[in-house]
Amino acid sequence: GAGVSQSPSNKVTEKGKDVELRCDPISGHTALYWYRQSLGQGLEFLIYFQGNSAPDKSGLPSDRFSAERTGGSVSTLTIQRTQQEDSAVYLCASSWNQGNYEQYFGPGTRLTVT
Amino acid sequence: GENVEQHPSTLSVQEGDSAVIKCTYSDSASNYFPWYKQELGKRPQLIIDIRSNVGEKKDQRIAVTLNKTAKHFSLHITETQPEDSAVYFCAASTGGFKTIFGAGTRLFVKA
């Protein structure tokens, strides 16, 4: 079946603009995660959804970052007033449920802020 | 806050040798420890995981050990092959609410 998909695959934006990143999880997966991966670095946890609710937003780096998930499926990560330090690959993952299940990652969105 | 430290950051081995990657975690409530492999330009994929009620788990050439007292877990790859070359990430999770990843180990297997 289809895996996790993300769009766009690449996004170049000017500093100060807002961007929206989209994630389509695997059908039936109730848990959804967003991570940020800077060049050559590890995976930085941003936010986690169980269904439509986000019990843990502690990883969001600033109030310029927000995320929502509607209908328990598609999620969007919004970055307002982008800064150059926001440049990174943003990875989405989904899992069958919360509680220690394998996370299936999407291909990521490479964001470049000029 | 929660933290996962991973060592070494880079590891180079000869084909056929073993490779060991070590991680420590800070949150004693962590109960699930997955390992992901990320090949260049690709997405991370789970290769093995271990839960806190188990001390060791093996899958062919890959094994993971867990020491809950020391809050330490390790990945062991035996008989390494060039296709094992990748970045490996350890992670620790508490009930799945949040997964904290280590910084990654870049493994080079020389033919």
Q: Do A59 and B102 touch (CB under 8 A)?
A: no
Quote the Cα angle for B98-A7-B36, to 5°: 40
B105 versus A48: the higher-pLDDT residue is: B105
Q: Output phi, psi for A60, to 5 deg.
A: -65, 125
Touching check for A49 and chain B: CB below 8 Å? no
Q: B34 to chain A: which residues are within 8 Å by CB?
A: 102-103
- At residue A64, the pLDDT reads 97
- At residue B64, the pLDDT reads 98
- At residue B1, the pLDDT reads 66
Mean pLDDT throughout B48-54? 90
Task: Using CB atoms within 10 Å of the CB of residue B97, give its burial: 0 to 12 exposed, 13 to 18 middle, 19+ buried.
Answer: middle
Task: Please check whether residue B89 is in contact with residue B36, taking contact to mean a CB–CB distance below 8 angstroms.
Answer: yes
In chain A, the residue whose alpha carbon lies closest to the alpha carbon of B104 is A42
- At residue B75, the pLDDT reads 98
Dist CA A43 CA A93 (whole Å): 11
Touching check for B104 and chain A: CB below 8 Å? yes
Beta bridge partners of B22: B7, B74
Minimum distance, in Å, between the CA of residue B93 and any CA atom of chain A: 7
Q: Do A91 and B99 touch (CB under 8 A)?
A: no
Q: Do B100 and A45 touch (CB under 8 A)?
A: yes
Task: Please check whether residue B34 is in contact with residue B25, taking contact to mean a CB–CB distance below 8 angstroms.
Answer: no
pLDDT band at B96 (very low <50, low <70, confident <90, very high): low
Task: Using CB atoms within 10 Å of the CB of residue A34, give its burial: 0 to 12 exposed, 13 to 18 middle, 19+ buried.
Answer: buried
Side chain identity at residue B56, one-letter code: E
Q: B100 to chain A: which residues are within 8 Å by CB?
A: 45
Q: What is the pLDDT of residues A70-80, one digit of tens each?
A: 888 999 999 99
pLDDT band at A100 (very low <50, low <70, confident <90, very high): low
User: Is the predicted pLDDT of residue B81 greater than 60, yes or no?
Assistant: yes
Touching check for B73 and chain A: CB below 8 Å? no
Dist CA A60 CA A56 (whole Å): 9
Q: A36 to chain B: which residues are within 8 Å by CB?
A: none
- At residue A70, the pLDDT reads 84
Mean pLDDT throughout B45-57? 92
Q: Do A91 and B95 touch (CB under 8 A)?
A: no
Q: B6 to chain A: which residues are within 8 Å by CB?
A: 42
